[in-house]
Each structure stands twice: as C-alpha cells, then as structure tokens.
Structure 1
Amino acid sequence: MSLARKLRTRMQQREIIVVPGIYDALSAYRTEAAGFEAVFASGSSLAATHLARPDIGLLSLTETSEIVGRITERISIPLLVDVDQGFGNDYTVARTVRLFERAGVAALQMEDQLEVKAADAPLSRPLVGTETMVGKIKAARDALVDQDIIISARSDAMSSEGFGAAMDRAHAYAEAGADMIFVESLTRREQMEELVRQLGGHVPLLHNLLRCDDEVTDATIVEEIGYSVALFPAVTLSAVGQALDDSLGALKAKPRLNESGLKADRIGAAEYLK
C-alpha cells in the first residue's frame, strides 16, 4: 500500500491523526521514531531553517522539491507538504504536483492567498478569487498520476473576509475536488463545530494548532469536534530554536564541552554499521 493510500485510508477513521511539523530529514526521522503517523513540512519552517528568513516566497519550487525529496527518502510515514499557492497559475500548479509526486509526498496543501504580495506588506494574506482557487484545485487533481495523493485546500478567508466567506470557499473547494479542507484562523470552538456541521460528513477536515491563546489547543478536543487531522506545524522548529539559544548561551557563558555530539542512534547509524 502506498503512503498516500495509507494516509487516505487512515483519515476515514474516527481517531484523529496528530501531525507534527518538521523542517528537514533529521526532524522528520526523529518524529517518525517518536511514533507519529505522519509529518508536515510547512513553508515557514523550510524558509526559517534553510534560509533563516520568513515565509515570504523566497524558496523556489525546485528548491522546495529538492528539500522534500531528501525528507521522503529517509522516512517511511506519509509527508504532507505546504506548496503555498502552487507556485503560480494553473500550469505551474500542474508542474508543482508532478514534481512533488515524484519526490514521494502523500499529500499537498495549497492555499488561496495571492502569490505576489505588496512589497510593503509581505506577510499579509490577500486572497485570489474563489474561481481562481477552484481552477488550481482542478489543475492539481488532473495533474496527479497517483490519484491517492491527497489535495488539501487551505483558505485564509477568515482573516480578511469573515466566517461566512470562509465557509463559502470551503464548500467550493470541496466541490472542486479537494480531498481535505483547512480553514485557517478558526479560533473559537463554535466556528469549528459549524464547519464540521457543514462539511464534516463530506470531506476530512484539518485544524491548525499554533497559537496558545486560541480557544482549542488540545488535539483530543479537535477530535471530539469531528476533525480528522490535528496539525502542530511549529513544534519541532520551536523546540530546536529554544535548544539552540540555550546551548549557545551556556557555551558563551562558560566555554566548556558538555555534550559529545549527535548520538549515533538519533540518525539510525546502526543501519550502516552492521
């Protein structure tokens, strides 16, 4: 069974899938070793770790697909990849899908933000029209060779157009062929419950757990509401960032050796030392 088919089948079960965010082969490998069923590579994590810059469209399609290929080569669990806006128009979306399919991903997450944003507001979230996003979803679906690969459609309409518009877009994206729906910025439980009432019986739903001040911060509650996937996109990057600050701060204060380096079992060295 392919990893895409495995993930698709697993999403039909009642128990929620907890998916940590990762940023390279090592973080993905350690996440699998910790017992998680799938991992997620976000654009923000890849930009932070490979460029030390924010997620403002600086990583190219080919750069991202190369990074992803190194990740999938080292793990045996499904990888969900953030492909931003598909890196362009419908034709670019089709090429994006083909490259990532060859890289071994199980799922692709595409959003309805504009690809090119104002230079003075690179972190803003202006949206493409609903029909434009619908066209991209259809282009992605048509470009797949393996139809088990999951197309997850993300909408950022909640932030700029409100809840009603976000629900309208979610319906349109599901009807266009999206296999999973992710409405970003649903901060209250009642909003999440309404999305489940409207779409939960038709398509799996994903919820993003990123901000501690949101009403729902526990995957068990996300499951109770009726979602299929609980995404923790920043968990590994946050941990590593804090560990770097702590270790380097300690070394600067007292420059002596406290660690002997990366333990061999953390990278599966035993596989090569038989």
Structure 2
Amino acid sequence: MTLAKKLRTRLQQREIVIAPGVYDALSAYRAEAAGFEAVFVSGSALAATHLARPDIGLLTASETAEIVARIGDRIEIPMLVDADQGFGNAFAVGRTVGMLERAGASAIQIEDQQEVKPANNPLSRLLISQEAMVDKIKAARDALTDADVLISARSDAMTTEGFERALERVHAYVEAGADMVFVESLTTRAQMDELVRQMDGKANLLHNLLRDTDEVTDAKTAQQIGYSVALFPGTALGAVGAALDRGFADLKNAPELRGGGSKIDRIGADAYLK
C-alpha cells in the first residue's frame, strides 16, 4: 500500500490525524519516532529555517521539492506538503504537483492567494478569482499519476472576503476535485460547525491549530466538530528556536568556550538518529 493510499484509508476513521509541522529530514524523522502518523511540510517553517525569512513566497517550487524529497527519503509516514499558491498559474501548478508527487508527497495543499504579492505588503492575503483557483485544482488533479494523492484546497477568503464567500469558494473547490478543505482564519466554533454542516462529508476538513486566541485550540474539540486533520505547524520551529537561543547563550556565557558545555553537546547527534 502506498503512503498516499495509507493516508486516504486513515482519513476514513473517526479519530483525527494530528500532523506536526516539519521543515527538514531530521524534524520529520523525530516526529515519526515520536509516533505521529503523518507530518505537514510547512511553507512558513521552510522559509524560516532554510532562508531565515518570513513566508512571503521566496522559496521556489524546485527548492521545495528538493527538501520534500530529502524528507521522503528518510521517513515512512505520509507527508502533507504546503505548496503555497502552486508557484504560479494553472500550468505551473501542474508542474509543481508532479514534482512534489515524485518527491514523495501524499497530499499537496494549494491556496487561493495571489501568486505574486505586492512588495510593499508581502504579508497580505490578496486572492485570485474563484475561477482561477478552480482551474488550479483541476490542473493539480490532472497532473497526478497516483490518484490516491490528495489535493487540499486552502482558502484565505475569510480574511479578505468574509465567511460566506469562503464557504462559496470551498464548495467550488470540492466540485473541482479537491479531496480536502482548509478554511484559514476561522476563529469560532460556530464557523467550524457550519463548515462541517455544509461540506456534509464531501471532503476531509483540516484545521490549523496555531493561535491561542481562537475559540478552538485543541485537536480533540476539532475532532468532535467533525474535522479530519489537525495541523500544528509551529510546534517544531518554536521548540528548535527556543533550544537554539538557550544553547548558544549557554555556550557564549561559558567560562571556557571549548565545547561539551551543554547537555546536547554531551549527548551527541547520534542520539537523535537511532
């Protein structure tokens, strides 16, 4: 059974799939060792760790595919890969999906933000048209050689067009062939309940557990509502960032800068590779 088929089969179960965000082979390997059934290759985590930049569309499709291939070569659990806007128009989306599938992605997420963001506001969430996103989803489906690979459609319409338009958009995306739906920036349980009601089992639903200010902040509640996947995109990056700050501060403040001063140094890298 392929990993994509394994993921599809697993999503049929009632219990929610918890997918931590990862950014390289080591973080994915440690997530697998911890017992997670799948991982999420987070675009923001890739930008932060490989470029030390915010997630403003600087990574290319080929760079992303190369990282995904390294991860896929080391783990034996499914990967959901953040493909941003597909790195271009519908033609580019087809190429991107082919690259990521060959690299080992079991699910590929495409969002309906504009491909190129304005330089004076790179963190904006300006949208492409619904029709253009539908074309991207169709192109993504057509590009697959393994029909079990899932296409996830993310909509950021909640931020710029409101809840009702977000619902209209994801209905169209599912009709175009999306297997999974992710409406970003839902902040209340009532909104999540309504999305589940309207989808009525037509697609798997994914929720991003990132903000403590949202009404739903845990995977168990998301499961009770009817969601299939809970993403924790920032857990690994936050943990590693804090550990780096502590480790480098300990080294800098050590009486003698000769190594062996931190617990991590004494353990050695091999302890994380068993």
Task: Name the TM-score, length of structure 1 as normaliser.
Answer: 0.96
Q: CA deviation at 1:169?
A: 0.5
Q: CA deviation at 1:134?
A: 0.2
**Superposition pairs of residues 1-274 of structure 1, within 5 angstroms:** 1-256=1-256, 257-259=261-263, 260-268=266-274
Q: CA deviation at 1:213?
A: 1.1
For 1:272, the equivalent position in structure 2 comes to none
Deviations 1:237-273 (A, max 9, x none): 11000111111122222245123253423113xxxxx
Task: Name the TM-score, length of structure 2 as normaliser.
Answer: 0.96
The alignment partner of 2:19 has SS state of strand
Larger deviation, residues 59-68 vs 243-252? 243-252
Confirm or deny: 8 A CA contact 1:156 1:166 kept in the other structure: yes
Alignment-mate amino acid for residue 227 of structure 2:
Y
- Rounded to whole Å, the distance in 2 between the matches of 1:151 and 1:246 is 39
- Rounded to whole Å, the distance in 2 between the matches of 1:43 and 1:216 is 23
Confirm or deny: 8 A CA contact 2:247 2:262 kept in the other structure: no
Alignment-mate amino acid for residue 234 of structure 1:
G
Identity across matched positions, percent = 65
Deviations 1:140-175 (A, max 9, x none): 000100010000000000001000000001101011
Gapped regions of structure 2 (runs ≥ 5): none
Gapped regions of structure 1 (runs ≥ 5): 269-274
Confirm or deny: 8 A CA contact 2:89 2:115 kept in the other structure: no
Matched residue count: 268
Alignment-mate amino acid for residue 58 of structure 2:
L
Q: CA deviation at 1:100?
A: 0.7
Q: Which runs of 4+ in 1 moved over 6 A?
A: none
Confirm or deny: 8 A CA contact 1:200 1:226 kept in the other structure: no
Deviations 1:111-142 (A, max 9, x none): 00001111100010000000000000000000
- Rounded to whole Å, the distance in 2 between the matches of 1:263 and 1:67 is 20
Deviations 1:23-55 (A, max 9, x none): 100000000000000000111100100010111
Confirm or deny: 8 A CA contact 2:250 2:262 kept in the other structure: no
- Rounded to whole Å, the distance in 1 between the matches of 2:185 and 2:35 is 28
Pair 255,64 (structure 1): closer, same or farther in 2 beyond 3 Å: farther
Confirm or deny: 8 A CA contact 2:84 2:109 kept in the other structure: yes
The alignment partner of 1:70 has SS state of helix
- Rounded to whole Å, the distance in 2 between the matches of 1:101 and 1:37 is 19
The alignment partner of 1:59 has SS state of coil
Confirm or deny: 8 A CA contact 1:200 1:227 kept in the other structure: no
- Rounded to whole Å, the distance in 1 between the matches of 2:10 and 2:226 is 15
The alignment partner of 2:217 has SS state of coil
Higher RCO structure, 1 or 2 (CA under 8 Å, sep 6+):
1
